[in-house]
Structure formats: structure tokens, C-alpha cells
């Protein structure tokens, strides 16, 4: 296997080995947090230990880092491949520098989001982290599938990442809001996020199936994808 093909497997492998198990933990603790709260409201006590809420938050923060990280990795691979293919560092060095700066600024803003205590700063750093992802996603080389956005691995992934960032930014509000409004908003949005993660599993495996190995690219990309025909039909299949 060539290096470019191997590098392309790092993003899916990390998503499966690290991100999805963390999603399982977050959802498990989320369910227990809710059950504990409802049981305590109804009976004044619950057998579920109080630590589940803190554990959910801990794993939630880890999940946000993991999802943003895996998103940057997926985008980085696609953009990096495009940079190498067109040798952009010699034809457009400023563009390459801009992309590198946005990558590092996005990571820094996420770190600052975890550290920020005041609502205003959490809002600012959450917005900047999200904006960073969107700007990187707009670069050449990213397979966005905009005309079929509803099953695009890119759009679903970016939306899921933005929902995770939003969750981190409203943590204090979930705890402080006595009317539970933020808790309900958080639960509804993250139930949607679970569906989006399932979508990432489906669209990611589909994309893996569709991407040819490097040595096959010159042949495969001659094919007419709309008509589903290739220049030289395989004689064994057409027999």
C-alpha cells in the first residue's frame, strides 16, 4: 500500500477506535444522569451514584476534543493531498501558510474555550473554533458533496463537531439554569448529534468504498460516474 493510501486510513481508524467508544460512554452517562435526576425528583432518592453527571461532563469534553481532532484530521488529509498534488507551496505559499495558521488557531481556540469561565469568552472561543472548522472546510480538496448535502460526510461531520463545541460552551448554563431550559436544549440537540454520528459511520464507510487506491486513480477517474461507464470495459465482466 502506498503512503498516501495508508495516511487516508488514519482518520477512519481513529474515528472507529477512539471516537465511537467515547460516544458510547457519553451516551451511557447521559442516560444515567437523566434517570438519576428524574428518580430524585419523583422519590427524593436514586440508586444511581451522583458522580454520573460529572463523568458525563468529563467524557463530553473528551468527546468534543476527539470529534474536533478527527474532523481536523479528515480535512487535513484532503487539503494536504490537494497541496501535494498541485505543489501549492511553490505556486501559492501564502495560501498554504494561511491554512496552517487557521489549523493552529482553531486548536488554540478550543483549548481557550475549555479554560474560559465567563460566558462572553466561552461564546467567543466557541464561535472562533466553529468558524475555524468552517473556513478549513471551505478549502480546495475537501470532498463536500454539496449537491447531495443531506448525506454528505463533510456537512454531517461539521454539524456534529459544531454541536459538540456548543455543548462545551453552555456547560455552566446547564448547571446554573433553574428552569432547566438549557438542559432541555442540550438534550434535544445532542439526540440529533447521535443521529449525525450514526450518519458519519454510514457515509464514512460509503466514502471509503468509493475512493480508489492511488495507483487506480488515473483509470477510475476516466470513468463517467453519472452514466456508470468506463472507457475500457473489463472484458471479464462484459462476457
Q: Which residues bind ligand HEM (CB under 6 A)?
A: 8, 11-12, 15-16, 19, 23, 26-27, 30, 33-34, 37, 53, 56-57, 60-61, 63-64, 67, 70-71, 74-75, 77-78, 142-143, 153-154, 157-158, 160-161, 164, 167-168, 171, 174, 183, 186-187, 190-191, 193-194, 197, 200-201, 204-205, 207-208, 211
Closer by beta carbon to ligand HEM, 57 or else 122: 57
Least separation, in Å, of the C-beta of 115 and ligand HEM? 14
Closer by beta carbon to ligand HEM, 211 or else 213: 211
Closer by beta carbon to ligand HEM, 7 or else 124: 7
Least separation, in Å, of the C-beta of 25 and ligand HEM? 10
Closer by beta carbon to ligand HEM, 178 or else 239: 178
* Phi, psi dihedrals of residue 224, rounded to the nearest 5°: -95, 105
Contact 122, 172 (CB under 8 A): yes
Closer by beta carbon to ligand HEM, 36 or else 238: 36
d(CA 21, CA 188): 21
Contact 141, 92 (CB under 8 A): no
State in Å, rounded, how far the first CA of the chain is from the last one. Answer: 30
In 3D, which of 178, 175, 228, 191 has the Cα closest to residue 26? 191
DSSP 89-126: HHH-HHHHHHHHHHHHHHHHHHHHHHH--SHHHHHHHH
Closer by beta carbon to ligand HEM, 140 or else 239: 140
- The residues near 167 (Cβ < 8 Å, ≥ 6 apart) are 60, 64, 186, 189, 190
Least separation, in Å, of the C-beta of 151 and ligand HEM? 11
Beta strand ranges found along the chain (DSSP E): none
Least separation, in Å, of the C-beta of 211 and ligand HEM? 5
> Based on the number of CB atoms within 10 Å of its own CB, is 39 exposed (0-12), middle (13-18) or buried (19 or more)?
middle
Closer by beta carbon to ligand HEM, 35 or else 234: 35
Least separation, in Å, of the C-beta of 33 and ligand HEM? 4
Least separation, in Å, of the C-beta of 88 and ligand HEM? 16
Contact 80, 13 (CB under 8 A): no
d(CA 76, CA 135): 12
Least separation, in Å, of the C-beta of 143 and ligand HEM? 4
Amino acid at each position: 500500500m502506498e503512503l498516501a493510501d495508508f495516511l487516508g486510513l488514519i482518520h477512519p481508524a481513529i474515528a472507529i477506535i477512539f471516537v465511537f467508544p467515547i460516544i458510547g460512554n457519553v451516551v451511557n452517562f447521559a442516560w444515567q444522569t437523566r434517570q438519576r435526576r428524574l428518580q430524585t425528583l419523583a422519590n427524593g432518592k436514586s440508586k444511581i451514584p451522583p458522580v454520573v453527571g460529572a463523568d458525563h461532563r468529563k467524557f463530553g469534553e473528551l468527546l468534543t476534543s476527539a470529534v474536533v481532532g478527527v474532523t481536523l484530521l479528515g480535512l487535513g488529509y484532503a487539503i494536504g493531498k490537494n497541496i501535494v498534488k498541485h505543489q501549492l507551496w511553490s505556486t501559492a505559499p501564502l495560501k498554504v501558510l494561511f491554512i496552517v495558521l487557521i489549523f493552529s488557531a482553531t486548536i488554540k481556540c478550543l483549548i481557550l474555550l475549555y479554560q474560559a469561565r465567563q460566558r462572553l469568552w466561552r461564546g467567543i472561543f466557541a464561535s472562533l473554533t466553529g468558524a475555524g472548522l468552517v473556513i478549513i472546510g471551505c478549502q480546495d480538496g475537501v470532498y463536500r458533496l454539496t449537491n447531495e448535502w443531506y448525506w454528505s460526510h463533510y456537512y454531517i461531520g461539521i454539524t456534529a463537531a459544531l454541536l459538540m463545541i456548543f455543548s462545551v460552551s453552555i456547560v455552566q448554563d446547564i448547571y446554573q439554569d433553574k428552569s432547566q431550559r438549557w438542559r432541555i436544549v442540550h438534550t434535544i440537540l445532542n439526540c440529533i448529534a447521535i443521529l449525525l454520528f450514526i450518519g458519519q459511520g454510514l457515509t464514512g464507510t460509503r466514502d471509503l468504498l468509493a475512493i480508489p487506491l492511488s495507483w487506480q486513480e488515473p483509470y477510475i477517474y476516466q470513468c463517467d460516474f453519472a452514466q456508470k461507464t468506463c472507457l475500457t470495459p473489463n472484458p471479464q465482466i462484459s462476457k
